[in-house]
């Protein structure tokens, strides 16, 4: 008689691969770059690497998939999640999708370096797809190598988990495994190609379906396959909406609009800039997906983009994200049109995005300011604050956190103490000038009057503000420092950041330094303020 695998062990993971079972695959799955027609995926195995070694794992994600976190330390874990071995039940594949990149239809893109290992069924019965990023080329790799460098993999691992703990809908990350192999990259696209250490992230999500999955079949006029994918998505990703049909496809689209609005409002709340909001990087579940040249807002500037490729057009700048999401949703709506037959209900659902987003933004700004609810005349208060923050170059995270400590409205105190949120958060080398000080004092007086009218007790307001305004975010320069140390073999900062970012709303006095403003040296340093798509 065979012994059963121990509960929580790697061998005990149970797979139920609905995507490959329920949708048509590539009839000729040879692993060479090409156009793949009539299929939602191609079966392809990860390419083995020289020396897989675990650099970090997320115990919470291990538990989520039903794995005992101790299991991550086994050599077998690094073998599987570095791409050298498969567990029983895994059926690896790369998905076919297209996308609009920077506003232009780009044709077939697909998982060029992402390989889905399988859908694990967790102890609660939830299906979670395990996906390796950087596990070698697939039929969708075009001219690229299918690999990922340590710096980009570490950034994805660290940030996607931090986003989860910040309460932002996101794909998760189980592990970061070094491949032991170099990858050639031109980090700044300056003609300076150098070998960098390679690494593989294992991402986890209930579904990795993107807007582009639908767009590719619509663009090719393959409406039968489009319909199959829509049926599948409705049944598995939106099971409460009912039987597939034109009306439920509209409801599905409306739900994607709603979730996308909620996701983007969270991005704005925490100061996250995705950097490459192409339609192939938009999740049907409204999850933040594909962490590339993303960045964290330091001084408030709606025009800021971390992505050097976007420096000219600033299409994906912080303040444009809500509008770009609507543009992307419109492309998804167009792709679904052949299945719905009538543009009006789709148009109407798309319009719900703006209303949902506007409502989410107002609720979010009221919460950031500690107000129990948004009132119709709060708009000038918020607009004036944003204008002031931009002028005074105030750090998005530090400002709101410091505002919490503003004393009770009726306490008389000196100007400097009152101005603390602006002064502490400002990046202006000379500090605030007289005009800015006067404007800030005026705003603070209005804000205090508003808080008084709101009537919330001080402690309740402070607690509410602490719950939505994080103390710790994975600041660009911190991630860069963690990368430089990891490249030199020292993983301590990565692990410290991982631990601190697990509780981003808590004061952690021993880690006060990790909540500090960006130091001056990082202002223009590559990796800190500018990132390329090279990854």
Catalytic residues: 280
Kindly state whether residue 146 participates in binding ligand AMP, applying the rule CB under 6 A: yes
User: Judging by beta carbons within 10 Å of its beta carbon (0-12, 13-18, 19+), is residue 122 exposed, middle or buried?
Assistant: middle
Residues within window 332-371 making contact with ligand AMP, judged by CB under 6 A:
none
Instruction: Report the nearest approach of Mg ion to the CB of residue 281 (Å).
Output: 5
Kindly state whether residue 147 participates in binding ligand AMP, applying the rule CB under 6 A: yes
Taking the C-alpha atoms of residue 178 and residue 183, their distance in angstroms, rounded to an integer, is: 11
Q: Which residue stretch of 139-147, 445-453, 470-478, 502-510 sits at the interface with ligand AMP (rule: CB under 6 A)? A: 139-147
Phi, psi for 155 (deg, rounded to 5): -60, -40
Q: Which residues of 345-370 are buried (b: 16+ CB within 10 A; e: fewer)?
A: bbeebbebbeebbeebbbbbbbbbbb
Give the ranges where 39-91 is alpha helix by DSSP (H).
59-64, 75-82
CA contacts within 13 A on the Cβ side of 156: 29
Residues within window 258-277 making contact with ligand AMP, judged by CB under 6 A:
276
Q: Which residue stretch of 274-282, 296-304, 307-315, 406-414 sits at the interface with Mg ion (rule: CB under 5 A)? A: 274-282
Kindly state whether residue 321 participates in binding ligand AMP, applying the rule CB under 6 A: no
Kindly state whether residue 315 participates in binding ligand AMP, applying the rule CB under 6 A: no
Instruction: Report the nearest approach of ligand AMP to the CB of residue 52 (Å).
Output: 18
- Candidates 56, 48, 67, 63; CA nearest to 115 is 48
Whether residue 173 contacts residue 156, with contact meaning beta carbons closer than 8 Å, is answered with yes
Nearer to Mg ion, 277 or 346 (CB): 277
From candidates 292, 333, 370, 504, binder to ligand AMP by CB under 6 A:
292
Sign of CA pseudo-dihedral 317, 321, 324, 325: positive
Tokens of 436: 């800015």
Instruction: Report the nearest approach of Mg ion to the CB of residue 276 (Å).
Output: 7
Tokens of 11: 């061998």
Nearer to Mg ion, 114 or 183 (CB): 114
What are the CA-CA distances from residue 463 to residues 194, 473, 480, 493, 507 (Å)? 49, 19, 32, 29, 12
DSSP secondary-structure letter at 374?
Answer: -
Nearest-CB residue for ligand AMP: 112
Residue carrying the six token digits 């400097």 = 416
Q: Which of the listed partners (Mg ion, ligand AMP, none) does 454 bind, with a CB threshold of 5 to 8 Å by partner kind?
A: none
Residues within window 279-308 making contact with Mg ion, judged by CB under 5 A:
281, 290
Q: Which of the listed partners (ligand AMP, Mg ion, none) does 136 bind, with a CB threshold of 5 to 8 Å by partner kind?
A: none
Write the binding mask 81 to 120 for ligand AMP: x where contact by CB under 6 A, - elsewhere.
----------------------------xxxxxx------
Q: Which of the listed partners (Mg ion, ligand AMP, none) does 140 bind, with a CB threshold of 5 to 8 Å by partner kind?
A: ligand AMP
Kindly state whether residue 473 participates in binding ligand AMP, applying the rule CB under 6 A: no
Residue carrying the six token digits 């996906």 = 131
- Residues of this chain that interact with ligand AMP (CB under 6 A) are 109-114, 137, 140-141, 144-147, 276, 280-281, 290, 292, 533
- Residues of this chain that interact with Mg ion (CB under 5 A) are 281, 290
């Amino acid at each position: 008689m065979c012994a059963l695998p121990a509960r929580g062990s790697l061998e005990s993971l149970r797979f139920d691969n609905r995507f490959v079972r329920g949708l048509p695959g590539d009839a000729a799955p040879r692993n060479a770059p090409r156009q793949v027609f009539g299929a939602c995926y191609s079966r392809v195995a990860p390419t083995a690497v020289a020396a897989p070694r675990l650099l970090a794992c997320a115990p919470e994600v291990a538990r989520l998939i039903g794995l005992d976190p101790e299991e991550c330390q086994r050599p077998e874990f690094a073998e599987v999640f570095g791409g050298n071995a498969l567990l029983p039940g895994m059926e690896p594949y790369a998905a076919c999708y297209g996308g609009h990149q920077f506003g232009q239809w780009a044709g077939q893109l697909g998982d060029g370096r992402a390989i889905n290992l399988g859908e694990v069924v967790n102890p609660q019965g939830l299906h979670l797809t395990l996906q390796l990023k950087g596990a070698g080329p697939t039929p969708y790799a075009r001219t690229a190598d299918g690999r990922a460098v340590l710096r980009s993999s570490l950034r994805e691992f660290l940030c996607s988990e931090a986003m989860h703990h910040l309460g932002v809908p996101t794909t998760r990350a189980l592990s970061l495994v070094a491949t032991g192999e170099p990858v050639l990259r031109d980090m700044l696209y300056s003609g300076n190609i150098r070998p960098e250490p390679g690494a593989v992230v294992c991402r986890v999500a209930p579904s990795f379906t993107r807007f582009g999955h639908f767009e590719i079949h619509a663009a090719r006029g393959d409406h039968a396959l489009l319909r199959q994918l829509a049926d599948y998505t409705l049944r598995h990703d939106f099971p409460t909406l009912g039987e597939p049909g034109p009306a439920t496809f509209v409801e599905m689209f409306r739900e994607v609009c709603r979730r996308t609005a909620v996701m983007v409002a969270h991005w704005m709340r925490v100061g996250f800039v995705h950097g490459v909001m192409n339609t192939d990087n938009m999740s049907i579940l409204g999850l933040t997906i594909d962490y590339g040249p993303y960045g964290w807002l330091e001084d408030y500037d709606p025009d800021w983009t971390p992505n050097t490729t976007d420096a000219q057009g600033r299409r994906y700048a912080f303040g444009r994200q809500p509008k770009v999401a609507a543009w992307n949703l419109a492309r998804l709506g167009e792709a679904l049109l052949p299945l719905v037959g009538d543009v009006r209900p789709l148009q109407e659902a798309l319009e719900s995005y703006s209303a949902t987003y506007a409502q989410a933004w107002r609720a979010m700004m009221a919460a950031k300011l500690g107000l129990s609810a948004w009132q119709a005349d709060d708009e000038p208060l918020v607009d004036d604050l944003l204008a002031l923050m931009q002028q005074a170059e105030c750090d998005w995270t530090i400002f709101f956190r410091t505002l919490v400590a503003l004393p009770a409205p009726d306490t008389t105190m000196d100007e400097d103490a009152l101005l603390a949120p602006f002064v502490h958060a400002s990046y202006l080398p000379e500090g605030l000038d007289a005009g800015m000080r006067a404007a800030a004092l005026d705003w603070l007086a209005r804000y205090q009057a508003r808080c008084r009218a709101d009537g919330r007790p001080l402690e309740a307001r402070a607690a509410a503000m602490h719950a939505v305004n994080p103390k710790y975010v994975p600041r660009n320069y911190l991630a860069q420092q963690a990368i430089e140390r990891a490249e030199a073999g020292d993983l301590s900062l990565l692990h410290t950041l991982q631990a601190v970012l697990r509780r981003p709303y808590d004061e952690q006095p021993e880690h006060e330094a990790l909540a500090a403003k960006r130091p001056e040296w990082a202002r223009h340093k590559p990796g800190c303020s500018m990132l390329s798509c090279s990854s």
